[in-house]
Amino acid sequence: MQGLLTTTNVHCDPGPCEPTMLLNAALVVLISTLSIYFVVFYTLFIIACWQILKKAGEKSWKALIPLYNMYLMFKIVGMKNWFWGMIILTIIVSTITTVDGFVGLTSIKDVDTQTFDFQSHLVTFVTLLINFFINIYVLCVYGWRTSKIFGHGKGWAAGLVILPNVFWLMLGFGKSKYNKKVLKEFTQKHK
């Protein structure tokens, strides 16, 4: 019984142990905070998506299915092929960065003197940079189309790009109406 109540103090000598413990603690805090933000923002997205899909004539419960809900959000603004293009782009970027990272790891000869070699990861950097600009472009086009189809203008489109969760909620719960005529105009104009 006495063994169960006894505690042992673990002592860490000053030196290399302390920075590692601080770094681990900082990483736990960072990951926890980001996880909370992700859950909050994704929940807000689901709530907004539910209402937007209802306005667009889709079944609202489909907002609960991850990835499919994004497909539907692209579909209701006539961009379902763009959605598949983004999925393919994500696979390509992930493959390139993984292969480049693996090649970089296998080329390390002396781990103790390893420094970050920018040139060895240039492919990853360029790939991620191109991916970033493509994503920004798609987000802008998506915001513009969504804004027009729900009867709004450039300011609303900018809001959908800069503060998407806020503007999606306003779109879903506001007085905005889904306009199939505008969608048909977009699809006919951009065939």
Tens of each residue's pLDDT in the chain, 191 residues? 455 555 555 555 555 556 677 888 888 889 999 999 999 999 999 999 999 999 999 999 999 999 999 999 999 999 999 999 999 998 998 888 888 776 665 555 555 555 555 666 777 888 888 989 999 999 999 999 999 999 999 999 999 999 988 999 999 999 999 988 888 887 777 66
Long-range pairs, 3-6, Cβ under 8 A, ≥24: none
Cα(27)–Cα(24) distance, integer angstroms: 5
77, 150 Cβ separation under 8 angstroms: no
Q: Which amino acid is at 21?
A: M
User: What pLDDT sits at residue 117?
Assistant: 58
Nearest to 138 by CA among 84, 58, 64, 62: 84
Considering the entire predicted model, what is its pTM? 0.73
User: What pLDDT sits at residue 152?
Assistant: 93
User: What pLDDT sits at residue 56?
Assistant: 93
DSSP letter string, 159-170? HHHHSHHHHHHH
> What percent of the residues of the chain are helix, what percent strand, and what percent coil, each to the nearest 5?
75, 0, 25
